[in-house]
Each structure stands twice: as C-alpha cells, then as structure tokens.
Structure 1
Amino acid sequence: MSMRCLLVDDSARFLEAARALLERGGVQVVGVASTGAEAIARVHDLTPDVVLVDLDLDGESGFDLARRIAGGAIAVILISTHSLEDFQELIAASPAHGFLHKSALSAGAIRELLGREE
C-alpha cells in the first residue's frame, strides 16, 4: 500500500520538484498547499498518511501548523533548508515525527523516519 503524502511549502518550485522526487520513490503525493489554511483544508479533504511541513511558510510558522494538524493517523515531518541544529529543541518539543533537510528528502528517508518498510 502506497504512503499518501501532502506537501506544504510556499515555494511552487520546491513543491513541483519534491512531488516528482517522492512519486518516483513510490510515495503518492495526494496534494500540495502553500499556506497553513490550505494545508488544514487539504488534510481534512485528502486524509494523507504523512504531511511534510516547511518550517518557514512566508510569515507563518511550520511549528504552529504542525501542532494544528498532527495527531491520529496523520504523521507530520518538518522540512527546511535550515540545519537541524538551528531548531533542534523546537523540533524535539513539537508533535512532529522528525525533521528532514530538504536536500535529504526522499521516499526512503520518510519511510525511515516513520519506521515503515515498503
């Protein structure tokens, strides 16, 4: 069974590249969002298994969004071009399952963070 993923980032270019990369790796990208409001609406409409949330959403906090959507069967993974060390304490205190640097994003990295084998 394919993992269903929602991508949340304010960069259309990144969303396009990440979608292509993840789909090649067997992750079904069911939708994208560029704002917190769009993300919340898409989470309710699409019921993804995992939501990748950028830390910086053009003035919105990815941490706040993660708190709003995490829970139940939906896992949240925070992503950023910033290093883990820059936000390690905030990430650890968040409901997110973990953090991936955007340059390390892959289907395998997501599965590893979530403890899933496919």
Structure 2
Amino acid sequence: MTLRCLLVDDSARFLEAACALLERGGVRVVGLATTGAEALALARQAAPDVALVDLDLDGENGFDVARLLTGEVPAVILVSTHFREDFQELIAASPARGFLHKSALSARAIQEVLGNDGSGAPT
C-alpha cells in the first residue's frame, strides 16, 4: 500500500520540491495546501494517511493547524527549518506523531516517524 500524504506549507517552492522528492521515494502526494483551511478541506476530500505541516505558516501557527487536522488525518508530522530543540516542549505537547527537519525529509524518514513496517500503512 502506498503512503498518501498531504503537504501543508506557505512556500510554493518547498511544496514543489517536497512533492517531487517524496513521490520519487514512493509516497503519493494527494494534496498541497498553503493554509489551515485549505489543508482541512483537502484532508476531508483526499483522505491522506499523513499530513506534513510546517510550523511557520504565513499568519498561522503550525501547531494549531496540526490540532485542526488531527481528527481528519490518521497522523500529522510537523516540519520546519528550525531545530527540534527550539520547539521540543511544544512538539511533545502537540497531537503530532513527530517532527522532521526539512533537510531530513524523505519517504524513509516519514516511515520511521510513523513506525511503518515498509508497507506504507502506519503500524
């Protein structure tokens, strides 16, 4: 089963690059959103397995968007160019499954955060 992913970031450049990178790694990107409202609508429409949500959305807090998506998406992973240590307590208190630095983003890294067995489905 192929992992279905929703990307949420206010940078069109990042969305384009991350989409290409993840699809090359076997992840099916089912939606690209730049706001929490777009992400929620796409989550309901596309039924992704995981949403990758940037911490710094233009005018929105990624932690709030993660909470918004929690009831709609089985797993949320926070992403950022900031280091985990900068937000460790907030990440731990959030409903997100984990955190990935944008430079470490890959299909394998997502699977590791989700604890996948390699089949694409969260275990």
TM-score by structure 1 length?
0.97
> What residue in structure 2 maps to residue 107 of structure 1?
107
> What residue in structure 1 maps to residue 27 of structure 2?
27
Letter in 1 for 2:58: D
Instruction: Give the 5 Å matches for 1:18-57.
Output: 18-57=18-57
> What residue in structure 1 maps to residue 121 of structure 2?
none
Instruction: Give the 5 Å matches for 1:1-118.
Output: 1-71=1-71, 74-118=74-118
State the 4+ residue runs in structure 1 displaced beyond 4 angstroms.
none
Change (3 A) 1:72 1:17: closer
Pairwise CA RMSD: 1.0
Mapped partners of 1:73, 1:83: distance in 2: 24
Q: How many residue pairs are counted as aligned between the two chains?
A: 118
Letter in 2 for 1:13: R
Letter in 2 for 1:77: I
* Long gaps (5+) in structure 1: none
Mapped partners of 2:116, 2:90: distance in 1: 24
Name the stretch that deviates more: 94-103 or 63-72. 63-72
Seq. identity, %: 73
* Long gaps (5+) in structure 2: 119-123
